[in-house]
A and B are shown apart, each in its own frame.
Chain A
Amino acid sequence: MLTSTTSSSTSSRSPADIAARIGLIACGALAQPAAALVDRHAWPVDVHPLPPLLHNRPHLIAGQVEALATSLLRRYPTVAIGYADCGTYGALDEVCDRLGLRRLAGLHCYDVYAGPARLQRFFDEQPGTYVLTDFLVRSFGRTVLQELGLDRHPELRDDYFGHYTRVVWLAQEPDPELHRLAQQAADSLGLPLTVVDTGTAGLERAIGGLLTLPVPAFPA
Chain B
Amino acid sequence: MTPDEILQGLYDQTLVGNAPAVLDLTHTGLDLGMEPQSLLFDALIPSLEEVGARFERGDFFVPEMLIAGRAMAGAMEVLRPLLAETGVQTIGTFVMGTVKGDVHDIGKNLVNIMLEGAGFNVIDLGVQVAPEKFIEAINEHQPDIVGFSAFLTTTMPMFKANINALQKAGLRDSVIVMVGGAPVTQEYADAVGADGYASDASACVKRAKDLLTKRRSLVSA
B70 engages A159 (CB within 8 Å): yes
> What's the least CB distance linking B10 to chain A, in Å?
20
Q: Which residues of B contact A150 (CB under 8 A)?
A: 63
Which residues from chain B contact A160 at a C-beta distance below 8 Å? Answer: 106
In the complex, B93 has a CB within 8 A of chain A: no
Which residues of chain A are within 8 angstroms of B102 by Cβ–Cβ distance?
127
Measured in the bound complex, the distance between the Cα atoms of B113 and A93 in whole Å is 34
Known pairs A107-B153, A120-B154, A159-B70; A148 contacts B128 (CB<8 A): no
Cβ < 8 Å to B, chain A residues 103-156: 107, 120, 123, 127-128, 148-150, 152-153, 155-156
Nearest-CB residue, chain B, relative to A164:
B103
> Once the chains bind, are A123 and B154 in contact (CB under 8 Å)?
yes
Q: Is the CB of A89 within 8 A of B61?
A: no
Selected contact of A148 from candidates B17, B63, B109, CB within 8 Å: B63
Given the interface pairs A89-B153, A127-B101, the reply to whether A163 lies near B127 with Cβ below 8 Å is yes
Whether, in the assembled complex, B66 has its beta carbon less than 8 Å from a beta carbon of chain A, the answer is yes
Residues of B within 8 A of A155 (CB): 70
Structural contact, B103 and A148, CB atoms closer than 8 A? no
| A63 → B minimal CB distance (Å) | 13
Contact of B67 among A87, A107, A153 (CB under 8 A): A153
- In Å, the complex CA distance between A4 and B87 comes to 63
B63 and A153 form a contact (CB under 8 A): yes
- In order of increasing CB-CB distance, the 6 nearest A-B pairs are A149-B63, A163-B103, A128-B103, A89-B183, A163-B127, A127-B103
Residues of A within 8 A of B (CB): 85, 87, 89, 107, 120, 123, 127-128, 148-150, 152-153, 155-156, 159-160, 163-164
Using A127-B128, A149-B64, A164-B103 as known contacts, list a sample of 14 further A-B pairs with CB atoms less than 8 Å apart, ordered by residue number in A: A107-B154, A123-B101, A127-B102, A127-B103, A128-B103, A149-B66, A149-B67, A156-B63, A156-B67, A159-B106, A163-B104, A163-B105, A163-B127, A163-B128
